[in-house]
């Protein structure tokens, strides 16, 4: 995506800065700031040189957790700038560190007045999203305390207390009030002829309730070079994409705890809005990377088991056995002004948890985790039957949450689940993809019951349920006039006749028989679905199709990677290879990095991928997608 924002991400903390490295306090779609645990701990960080805003020579460029920028004071063709400013910023250990090097371009001694205006508004991320919502904060107090080496900003509301500490070496010559609540740190630096002077600054975020650092937690995404990865011959770009993906995933680790309070690091969904545990995203990311990196799967399973619902809470959509959708640590969640402290608005996190548990045991040959989480797995299965809808209605189902998500599958935008004419499916929704997840979850859990838990009767019950679900699905969801599965069923059983990429998820989970799978697989590589870069979320040519819609025509690499896995599962290796090549061509155009989403325009119409206006980076399941592609091509090797 084209943006003037530079994002630095590491271990649950991120900074969003402008081209100069400044933080302006901007809100909306791409807010500036230093963020930790859903709160903005630095809302202003603006540099001036000799009283003026410097000119950008080289804009801030991100390298994961680091960024650099080169600036000069305003100058003209007649008078060259007297000095150059080099800014080096880095996110590390819940802090932003910055090295400012001021270099004289003159052969005579000089001085430079450097000032940094800093402030911390401690805004919750939900306040910054540009949706014009306003949240009351009774008795909230903000403080600013000058220190010898900088300034400390504080925020207190009842029992909630957060701090941001700004320190500098050398100490500032002065810390000035600005009249706006911000503080200005000032230095007068002496510059020898063609010499330099440096400032070292550190901004530490101290969020409310932050746990002890999980130093002993496993590094679930150790980096690797392209040469170190076992990639089949003929796919050199795939090795580069996997290596880049590991780098991005390393920045997205966040702290979590397991059922016994053990420290974990798990993959967050992505930045800037979702640097937290989301059940669906963590499970899919872990499934993708499982063959090469089993650590994320084990950590994710333990974290999701620890957050599993044990009772009912209508405001959070919690029901016994249900796996969490989203975990938040911010002020608004703490005071229950938003429901997302632990929010369960997902129909698919629970079956994905079971899929991951079974896949982990199969991939690693180690059944200890499956034994430890047997109780959690059985509770998840019981949720699918008793609360999810399998027992009474034959399918997993959901309906819009008035205080939360309208759709509770991965296509969660309003109107994403629709008919071909664009009419949204309303009321009770039985999404196609969720039934595939349920089918795979039942099969995998039956295998665990048979081989690990020693409960053959339970295994038989689950296998019978899976067989019945597959039979019902093929009868109820198949659109004979389209020769393709429906996107969903409504409360009356009417099929939503929009043709969507959810069919690729059906291939991945194995709910289709071979004949139907071959029809679906070849259709997904037809011109209405395959853009040349990946599979469109909704097939072109339908009234509902829009190439820039979030889920009604755009291309998501993780969605396409799921389709590639499904194609390989059914032996459609030629189609899988064609899809993998398109996705790798896409990655190659952005330094081997998979974007979150691109527009659905055909490659034949425009030779380069068209960015999506709402795409963000980094995103975990996009970063993990090359590993799914590696699995897909390895199956035909």
> What does the alpha-carbon distance between residue 198 and residue 234 come to, in Å, rounded to a whole number?
49
Tell me the whole-structure pTM to 2 decimals: 0.94
Three-class SS of 85-134:
EEEEEEEECCEEEEEEEEEECCCCCEEEEEEEEEECCCCEHHHCCCCCCC
List of residues 6+ apart from 590 with CB closer than 8 A: none
pLDDT digits (tens, 9 = 90+) for 37-57: 999 999 999 999 999 999 999
> What does the alpha-carbon distance between residue 501 and residue 307 come to, in Å, rounded to a whole number?
30
Predicted local distance difference test score (pLDDT) of residue 417: 96
> What does the alpha-carbon distance between residue 305 and residue 320 come to, in Å, rounded to a whole number?
12
Q: Of 368-382, 394-408, 574-588, give the lowest mean pLDDT range.
A: 394-408
Predicted local distance difference test score (pLDDT) of residue 223: 60
> What does the alpha-carbon distance between residue 158 and residue 10 come to, in Å, rounded to a whole number?
30
pLDDT digits (tens, 9 = 90+) for 181-192: 999 999 999 999
* pLDDT confidence tier of residue 1, bands split at 50, 70 and 90: very low
Q: What domains appear along the chain, each with residue ranges and CATH number?
A: 6-206 (2.70.98.50), 236-635 (1.50.10.10)
> Residue 485 to residues 437, 492, 496, 600: CA-CA distances in angstroms?
15, 17, 9, 21
DSSP state of 536: B
> What does the alpha-carbon distance between residue 152 and residue 166 come to, in Å, rounded to a whole number?
6
List of residues 6+ apart from 606 with CB closer than 8 A: none
Predicted local distance difference test score (pLDDT) of residue 297: 98
> Residue 599 to residues 419, 548, 551, 609: CA-CA distances in angstroms?
21, 5, 10, 7
> What does the alpha-carbon distance between residue 418 and residue 436 come to, in Å, rounded to a whole number?
19
Name the more confident of 163 and 31.
163
* pLDDT confidence tier of residue 359, bands split at 50, 70 and 90: very high
Half-sphere exposure in the Cβ direction for 589 (13 Å, CA): 14
By percentage, how much of the chain surpasses pLDDT 70? 96
Q: What is the mean pLDDT of residues 246-262?
A: 94
Enclosing H/E stretch for 368 = helix 368-372
User: Is the peptide bond preceding residue 170 cis, with omega within 30 degrees of 0?
Assistant: yes
pLDDT digits (tens, 9 = 90+) for 538-564: 999 999 999 999 999 999 999 999 999
Alpha-carbon dihedral 332, 338, 340, 342, rounded to 10 degrees:
80
* pLDDT confidence tier of residue 26, bands split at 50, 70 and 90: confident
Predicted local distance difference test score (pLDDT) of residue 401: 83
The token pair that represents 220 in the structure block: 């679930």
- Closest of 299, 445, 280 to residue 358, by C-alpha: 445
Predicted local distance difference test score (pLDDT) of residue 225: 59
């Amino acid at each position: 995506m084209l943006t003037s924002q530079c994002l630095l991400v590491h271990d649950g903390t991120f900074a969003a800065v402008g081209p100069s490295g400044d933080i302006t306090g901007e809100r909306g779609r791409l807010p500036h700031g230093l963020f930790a645990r859903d709160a903005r701990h630095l809302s202003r960080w603006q540099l001036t040189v000799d009283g003026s805003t410097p000119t950008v020579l080289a804009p801030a460029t991100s390298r994961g957790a680091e960024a650099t920028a080169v600036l000069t004071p305003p100058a003209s063709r007649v008078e060259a700038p007297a000095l150059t400013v080099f800014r080096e910023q880095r996110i590390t250990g819940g802090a932003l560190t910055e090295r400012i090097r001021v270099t004289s371009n003159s052969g005579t001694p000089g001085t430079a007045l450097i000032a940094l205006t800093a402030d911390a508004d401690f805004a919750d991320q939900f306040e910054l999203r540009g949706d014009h919502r306003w949240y009351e904060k009774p008795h909230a107090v903000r403080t600013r305390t000058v220190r010898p080496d900088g300034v400390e900003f504080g925020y207190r509301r009842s029992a909630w207390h957060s701090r941001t500490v700004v320190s500098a070496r050398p100490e500032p010559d002065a810390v000035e009030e600005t009249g706006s609540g911000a503080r200005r740190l000032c230095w007068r630096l002496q510059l020898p002829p063609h010499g330099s002077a440096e400032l070292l600054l550190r901004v530490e975020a101290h969020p409310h309730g932050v746990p002890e650092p999980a130093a002993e937690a496993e590094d679930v995404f150790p980096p690797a070079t392209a040469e170190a990865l076992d990639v089949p011959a003929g796919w050199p770009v795939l090795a580069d994409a996997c290596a880049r993906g590991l780098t991005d995933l390393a920045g997205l680790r966040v702290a979590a705890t397991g059922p016994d309070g053990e420290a974990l690091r798990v993959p967050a969904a992505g930045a800037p809005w979702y640097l937290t545990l989301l059940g669906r995203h963590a499970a899919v990311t872990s499934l993708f990377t499982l063959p090469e990196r089993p650590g994320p799967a084990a950590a994710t399973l333990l974290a999701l088991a620890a957050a599993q619902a044990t009772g009912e809470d209508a405001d959070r959509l919690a029901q016994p056995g249900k796996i969490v959708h989203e975990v938040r640590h911010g002020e608004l969640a703490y005071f229950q002004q938003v429901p997302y402290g632990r929010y369960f608005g997902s129909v698919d996190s629970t079956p994905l948890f079971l899929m991951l548990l079974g896949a982990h045991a199969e991939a690693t040959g180690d059944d200890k985790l499956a034994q430890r989480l047997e109780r959690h797995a059985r509770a998840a299965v019981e949720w699918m039957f008793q609360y999810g809808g399998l027992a009474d209605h034959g399918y997993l189902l959901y309906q819009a949450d008035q205080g939360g998500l309208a759709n509770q599958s991965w296509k969660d935008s309003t109107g994403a689940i629709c008919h071909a004419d664009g009419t949204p499916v309303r009321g009770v929704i039985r999404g196609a993809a969720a039934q595939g997840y349920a089918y795979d979850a039942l099969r995998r859990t039956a295998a665990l019951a048979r081989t690990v838990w020693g409960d053959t009767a339970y295994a038989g019950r689950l296998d019978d349920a899976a067989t019945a679900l597959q039979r019902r699905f093929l009868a109820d969801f198949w659109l004979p006039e389209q020769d393709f599965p429906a996107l969903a069923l409504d409360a009356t059983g009417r099929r939503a006749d929009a043709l969507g990429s959810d069919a690729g998820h059906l291939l991945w989970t194995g709910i289709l028989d071979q004949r139907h799978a071959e029809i679906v697989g070849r259709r997904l590589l037809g011109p209405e679905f395959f853009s040349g870069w990946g599979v469109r979320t909704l097939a072109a040519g339908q009234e509902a199709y829009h190439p820039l819609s979030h889920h009604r025509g755009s291309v998501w690499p993780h969605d396409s990677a799921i389709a590639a896995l499904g194609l390989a599962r059914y032996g459609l290796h030629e189609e899988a290879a064609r899809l993998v090549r398109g996705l790798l061509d896409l990655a190659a155009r952005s330094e081997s990095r998979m974007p979150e989403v691109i527009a659905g325009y055909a490659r034949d119409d425009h030779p380069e991928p068209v960015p999506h206006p709402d795409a963000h980076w980094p995103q975990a399941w996009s970063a993990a997608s090359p590993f799914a592609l590696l699995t897909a091509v390895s199956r035909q090797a």
